[in-house]
Structure 1
Amino acid sequence: MAILTDIHCHGGGGHAFGDTVEGTLAALAAHRATGTQEIVASLVSLPLDQMRAQVGVLREVMSLDPSLIGIHLEGPFLAPARKGAHDPAALAVPTADMVEQTLEITDGTLRQITIAPELPGALEAIEAYAKAGVTVAVGHTEADAALAREAFDAGARLITHAFNAMRGIVAREVGPAGAALADDRVFIEVVADGIHVDPQLIAALFRATPGRVVLVTDAMAAAASGDGDYRLGSLDVEVRGGKAVLAGTDTIAGSTLTLTRAIEVCVGAGVDQADARAAATTVARAALGLD
């Protein structure tokens, strides 16, 4: 039976990945209780010393719980104008030294990294990470379609939460997601919670890119938990009615989604159940080169 695999998830059950060993184990257990069998733990943008500490926690948990299969660095190489729920003080430019340090800190546990390709040195960084066996995702970016294509040619193979924190598809400029539609090398993450992306657009994406849609949760601590006040990295998050936003704003701050619910949303929008399930299992693993 195919394994439900979430390649973009920040936590659940009231806990954020990487804060503590006990909390990370509890978050994994909370998602496992909903059906998710494997998770790549996503970390928001952090200064290198904090990244090292959180990676240390995740490395210990990987030795205790095989359902944690690696790390996704969603930052710090993001565009300030598209930072979303990331601390602007933690953003950085992907210099060769920063690339080397992040690879050293993660030491073989890094499965995915999100990069805005317009940053200085980004295309060279994409190539370096790809050569190191890391799946590079284009996201949190102001890049147009032409630059996204350059990123794909440099080795990027994924779009981080399509249609969010990036340019949209309009008549004469299709943005990163539009560029990915036309490139069979590229997989496309979708947060199918009915909040991040209209379900009918999700259904259209499945029709346009068969075998390349990856369902992810982008879940934060409130997933498999409940409404309330939480933290995402260094930022305060309010969860009301299952919607997570930065405190006092309308900025979406992850989700409270589970993979089983994401499949239900897709099927409800008209996606074939086998295709929806594949997007959370075999296609998700293929996006990271796991199969």
Structure 2
Amino acid sequence: MIRTIAARRLLRGDNVVEYPLVSIEDGCIRSIESLDPASHHTAPATHRFPDATLVPSYFDIHIHGCAGHDVMEATPQALQIIGEFLSTRGVGAYLPTTVTSPRDETLRALSGLATEIQKARNNPSTRATPLGVHLEGPFLSHRKRGVHTDGLLQAPSIDLFDRFWQAAEGQIRLMTIAPELPCASELIAHATSLGVRCSMGHSDAMVCEAEAGFLAGARSATHTFNAMRALDHREPGIAAYVLDKQELFAEIICDGIHVDPLMVRLFFKAKGASRTMLVTDGMSATGMPNGTYMLGGMQVEVLDGRCTSHGTLAGSVLTLDRGVQNFMEFTGATLPIAVAAASRNPSQMMGIADAWGTLEEARVANITVLSPSAQVVQTFLAGEPAIS
């Protein structure tokens, strides 16, 4: 069965297609046509969005949970509810992100996540798809640990990482690591050899130590500015290194709480349109009322959008669609640039840009429909509407 989607515009890479008509067959994009206004108005369409823009579905590479569930639960129910919620916010794919926990708890969670990731790969659905694990911890700085439990942090260890890798059945796709720690460069090189992308974060690194991490293979930075050595004009530190190193991709949490809008603008001027990645660092409280929630094994108090544990910021309740809107508001970026920061750029960093992040013929029809104000109207995953 062929279904068609008509809209006002479609973002195709760096180009805007006016009056698009998208044909979908067997879950893939069969064709993208640009019609004249009169033909577009009369063309038969299964789904019609007269004022909307079709964009690639979003890809959140750093998220701990939402809708009352934490990815560390690693159960079918938790992943189902998380995926369903994310799809309503325009997200087509995500990396369930761990938090530093007791070793056995981490191994259990990685095993459970691996099972659910394999299921999702074999059975596409109208839920956001977990594409792999983002391992955040335990190889983090004690000085810049954020809310990660100090006593559970570990020195970088290839042996320990390999235990995690085996438990996850090779599904670890991204790892946050502090590059200044002993043996960090060796672990970065080892993980990179396995196809894992390494991201520098939760770090007190000086410039030379960040450079060592990059030379070992790190290609990204985790929630830039947060849990990092602060900018200083005599010892610039890792944050300045991230801004200056053009080859590095860099995450930013664009909720107006984690990073002031002025710093978001400076970040964007430094990283540019091709290296900026919007993430949420969302936790189980996302989409839920004020209250007490869990982040891994830690209790987090959530009040009016701010998540804290013993006074320290602990993740967010940001959704990626709101992050896109905020980014445009804070920086003046256009919709194509903001959308790329939530879709194409993370896909490129992760090495999966041949399958995710752009709308092209023969690709799976993972499409988010945005109103003129960039609110999510509908999400199509493998050509099927996710929002009833």
TM-score (norm 1): 0.95
* Higher fraction of helix: 1
TM-aligned CA deviation for residue 123 of structure 1: 0.9
Alignment of 1:144-183 (within 5 A): 144-183=206-245
Question: Residue 294 of structure 2 aligns to a residue in which SS?
Answer: strand
TM-aligned CA deviation for residue 68 of structure 1: 0.8
Q: Note if contact 2:110-2:164 (Cα within 8 Å) is conserved in structure 1.
A: no
**1:78 and 2:145 matched:** no
Partner of residue 98, structure 2: 43
1:8-33 deviation per Cα after TM superposition (whole angstroms, max 9, x unaligned): 00000010013032112111211111
Q: Say how many residue pairs are matched.
A: 289
Aligned-pair Cα RMSD in Å: 1.3
Alignment of 1:40-119 (within 5 A): 40-66=95-121, 67-119=129-181
Give the partner amino acid of 2:288: S
**1:23 and 2:78 matched:** yes
Q: Note if contact 2:327-2:338 (Cα within 8 Å) is conserved in structure 1.
A: yes
TM-aligned CA deviation for residue 69 of structure 1: 0.6
Distance 1:26 1:159 in 2: 28
Distance 2:150 2:231 in 1: 26
1:11-66 deviation per Cα after TM superposition (whole angstroms, max 9, x unaligned): 00010013032112111211111111111000001233111211122122223435
Which range is displaced more, 54-63 or 256-265?
Answer: 54-63
Which range is displaced more, 147-156 or 26-35?
Answer: 26-35
1:58-103 deviation per Cα after TM superposition (whole angstroms, max 9, x unaligned): 1222234351111001000011121111122221111231132222
Instruction: Give the one of 336, 344, 348 matched to 1:282.
Output: 344
Distance 1:24 1:225 in 2: 16
TM-aligned CA deviation for residue 243 of structure 1: 0.9
Partner of residue 34, structure 1: 89
Could you tell me the percent identity over the aligned residues?
A: 35
Instruction: Give the one of 295, 306, 311 matched to 1:232.
Output: 295
Distance 1:107 1:120 in 2: 26
Q: Which runs of 4+ in 1 moved over 3 A?
A: 63-66
Partner of residue 261, structure 1: 322
Distance 1:183 1:130 in 2: 19
1:109-144 deviation per Cα after TM superposition (whole angstroms, max 9, x unaligned): 111001111222111111111111101011111111
Partner of residue 131, structure 1: 193
Q: Note if contact 1:143-1:175 (Cα within 8 Å) is conserved in structure 2.
A: yes
Give the partner amino acid of 1:245: T
Distance 1:231 1:282 in 2: 31
Unaligned 5+ segments in structure 1 are none
Partner of residue 279, structure 2: 216
Distance 1:262 1:278 in 2: 12
Give the partner amino acid of 1:282: R
Q: Note if contact 1:214-1:283 (Cα within 8 Å) is conserved in structure 2.
A: yes
Distance 2:157 2:107 in 1: 18
Give the partner amino acid of 1:129: A
Partner of residue 244, structure 1: 307
Instruction: Give the one of 188, 191, 194 matched to 2:256.
Output: 194
1:239-264 deviation per Cα after TM superposition (whole angstroms, max 9, x unaligned): 00011100xx2200000011000011
Distance 2:204 2:157 in 1: 19
Instruction: Give the one of 37, 57, 60 matched to 1:6.
Output: 60
Distance 1:34 1:243 in 2: 20
Which range is displaced more, 105-114 or 35-44?
Answer: 105-114
Distance 1:260 1:81 in 2: 32
TM-score (norm 2): 0.72
Q: Note if contact 2:72-2:296 (Cα within 8 Å) is conserved in structure 1.
A: no
TM-aligned CA deviation for residue 203 of structure 1: 2.1
**1:120 and 2:174 matched:** no
Distance 1:196 1:174 in 2: 20
Question: Residue 244 of structure 1 aligns to a residue in which SS?
Answer: strand
TM-aligned CA deviation for residue 238 of structure 1: 0.3
Question: Residue 97 of structure 2 aligns to a residue in which SS?
Answer: strand
Distance 2:76 2:148 in 1: 23
